[in-house]
Amino acid sequence: MSEKRPRNSSSRIRESLERIVGKNFVSDRLEERYYYSSDPSAEEPCAPDFVVMPGSVEEVQEIVRLANREKIPLTPRVGGMTLSGLAIPYGGGILLDLKRMDRIIEVNDDSMYAVVECGVTTGQLKTYLEENHPHLWFCQPHAPPSVGVISNAVIYGAGQISLGYGVSSDMINGLEVVLPTGEILRTGSCALGKSWLTKYCLPDFTGLFLGWFGATGIITKASVQLWPKPSIRDAMFYKVDTVEDTVNILLKLTKSEVCDDIYINSWTGTSTKRFYMSQKPEGTPEITMDIILSGKNQEQVDLKKRMVGEIMEEAMRKGVKVEEFEPPLMLKIAMLMVPQPLPFMDLMLGGGAEYLGCYVPTEEVGEAYKRGIEIAKKYGFQYLHVVRPFRTGHCTGIMYAFPFDKRNPEVVEKLLRVLVEICDMAISLGGVPWKPSPTVQKIVLKHADSQYVQLMKKIKTMLDPNGIMAPGQWAL
């Protein structure tokens, strides 16, 4: 990153920002601009001109209006944990760090929802519910507690209840958004001014802000659905010999509706030295399957475990090589924690980490799994897959994780080619890449129907006439 002060960094603009949020919450110092210039992904770094931390919706509005007057790019950020360049401030401008807006405004016990500001983290909401509403929980990703609740929802992130209820975006009742012009829009029942109950029955504008990665507005509040928290949770663990057998078992398990969550891990996920091995060690299972169950009492949990056992026994009678095993106690305890305190990938010297997920038809998981291995090996990367079904198997997420040396330009370039090929492959199988980086977004747009892309352009132009919001995201 260049140390030269970007062209938009002027004392006049800085003074305007200081008048809005106060001197303590504006910076154009090199070290802070550098901190916000990148993430662990393979995407090119870009430093903002200013880092600003607003403390209210009104301050966000004033900053947006200033950015419009000055034609300065705006990039919103909370935790910056997407690992795919979604909060890098391409084009410089103002990096809007929203972590100060961290109020939990309301929790409705009876209708089971929480209204939170954009800076509320998953760790914060989890702690608040455990202390004040211990019978309720929310869709919490298996990610660091600094991840934003709303951020995870608007990128279609999954959590511990996604097999039954869908991903976090399915659980949004309504939003408050500062539009790129500085106006406020509310979606869902809160648009009627009374409650944040639901998005049912009205023309739904919520989708204008899901999957756009900040390019259509700055979400400042959201109502997220809560769910009854089970009294007991347990886990079963199996080794499976082939990916084909795993998919067949997965189809039966999801349709049985007895599992809370299912994790399928490739062999590399079973070894603490996985990224130092070039081939699968002899005797190591190709796949492990972790099945989470819950209930109101032990009798209900035991019934579900018997039902899972029956599905496995039926597979074994057909000649499938399946073996139940008992992992170390600490591993089992960790699997049942929410979020799980387990690393989903190793980090290598150089600090790079890419985590490309694709939502694919469940019946295509085996093919996506095999092709992912082929692509990784073609470019010399160790493979690690994690597979999770959502919404009773309506689709399945397959995640490809790649640690890499971010300092090595050749490695970065090769990894970008890997991500492009995986994206092409997933789309060819009927899938959709999850939280695609700007590099992968270009591949999505290349495949997309022309009328779909044209409508995206119209929406972006209508909402953001000066083109200031999140430049680099969905570059249309």
Residues 6+ away with beta carbon under 8 Å from 79? 99, 121, 144, 146, 147, 148, 151
The CATH number for 429's domain is 3.30.70.260
pLDDT tier, 132 (very low <50, low <70, confident <90, very high otherwise): very high
Per-residue pLDDT reduced to its tens digit, 370-406:
999 899 889 988 777 889 999 999 999 999 888 888 9
Distance CA 239, CA 290 (A): 9
Q: How many residues in total does the chain contain?
A: 476
* pLDDT number for residue 155: 95
Q: Is residue 170 part of a domain?
A: yes
At 151, list the tokens: 């951020």
Which of 183-187, 243-247, 452-456 has the weakest average pLDDT?
243-247
The CATH number for 82's domain is 3.30.43.10
Residue type, 63: I
Domain boundary residue, one of 165, 199, 228? 228
Q: Is the pLDDT of residue 5 over 50?
A: no
Judgement on whether residues 222 and 329 belong to the same structural domain of the protein: no
Higher-pLDDT residue of 149 and 347 is 149
Per-residue pLDDT reduced to its tens digit, 30-47:
999 999 999 999 999 999
Judgement on whether residues 115 and 224 belong to the same structural domain of the protein: yes
Distance CA 59, CA 261 (A): 41
Distance CA 123, CA 146 (A): 6
Judgement on whether residues 195 and 289 belong to the same structural domain of the protein: no
Residue type, 463: L
Q: Is residue 289 part of a domain?
A: yes
Q: Where are the alpha helices (DSSP H) in 116-222?
A: 122-132, 149-154, 162-165
Which of 354-369 are b and which e, b meaning 16 or more Cβ less than 10 Å from the residue's Cβ? bbbbbbbebebbbbbb
Q: Is residue 3 part of a domain?
A: no
At 148, list the tokens: 């934003």
Judgement on whether residues 273 and 321 belong to the same structural domain of the protein: yes
Phi, psi (degrees; rounded to nearest 5) at 416? -60, -40
Judgement on whether residues 116 and 205 belong to the same structural domain of the protein: yes
Phi, psi (degrees; rounded to nearest 5) at 433? -70, 140
Per-residue pLDDT reduced to its tens digit, 400-418:
888 888 999 999 999 999 9
Q: Is 195 left (phi over 0), alpha (psi -120 to 50) or beta?
A: beta
The CATH number for 266's domain is 3.30.70.2190
Domain boundary residue, one of 201, 228, 255? 228
Q: Is residue 2 part of a domain?
A: no
Domain boundary residue, one of 228, 248, 282? 228
Judgement on whether residues 120 and 210 belong to the same structural domain of the protein: yes
- Which is it for strands 218-225 and 172-178: parallel, antiparallel or unpaired? antiparallel
Distance CA 428, CA 431 (A): 7
Q: Is residue 461 part of a domain?
A: no
For Cα atoms 40, 8, 27, give the angle at the middle one, nearest 5 degrees: 60
Judgement on whether residues 67 and 131 belong to the same structural domain of the protein: no
Judgement on whether residues 123 and 135 belong to the same structural domain of the protein: yes
The CATH number for 179's domain is 3.30.465.10
Per-residue pLDDT reduced to its tens digit, 253-269:
999 999 999 999 886 54
Instruction: Give yes or no for a contact between 399 and 422, defined as CB atoms under 8 angstroms apart.
Output: no
Q: How many domains is the chain partitioned into structurally?
A: 4
Q: Considering the chain, what is the average pLDDT of its residues?
A: 92
Per-residue pLDDT reduced to its tens digit, 93-121:
999 999 999 999 999 999 999 999 999 99
Q: Is residue 465 part of a domain?
A: no
Q: Is residue 341 part of a domain?
A: no
Residue 441: name the closest of 414, 461, 471 by CA.
471
Q: Is residue 398 part of a domain?
A: yes
Q: CB 25: neighbour CB atoms within 10 A? A: 17
Judgement on whether residues 330 and 370 belong to the same structural domain of the protein: no
Judgement on whether residues 17 and 59 belong to the same structural domain of the protein: yes
Judgement on whether residues 223 and 273 belong to the same structural domain of the protein: no
Residue 66: name the closest of 37, 26, 106 by CA.
26
At 113, list the tokens: 């929802």
* pLDDT number for residue 341: 80
Using CA atoms, how far residue 70 sits from 9, 32, 57, 149, 301, in Å, is: 11, 22, 20, 31, 60
Residue 74: name the closest of 104, 54, 55 by CA.
54
The mean pLDDT value for 4-32 works out to 85
Enter the DSSP assignment of 113: E
State whether the Cα torsion 99-101-104-106 is positive or negative: negative
Distance CA 16, CA 99 (A): 21
The mean pLDDT value for 441-458 works out to 97
DSSP string, 399-453: EEEEEE-TT-HHHHHHHHHHHHHHHHHHHHTT-EEES--HHHHHHHHHHS-HHHH
- pTM for the full predicted model: 0.93
Judgement on whether residues 184 and 136 belong to the same structural domain of the protein: yes
Identify the bridge partners of residue 261 per DSSP, sorted by sequence position.
Answer: 292
The mean pLDDT value for 162-178 works out to 97
The mean pLDDT value for 178-192 works out to 97
Distance CA 162, CA 168 (A): 8
Describe the strand order of the beta sheet including 287-295 as a list of residue ranges: 322-324, 232-240, 287-295, 261-266, 385-390, 395-404, 352-360, 432-434
Higher-pLDDT residue of 142 and 62 is 62
Residues of the domain holding 419: 352-436
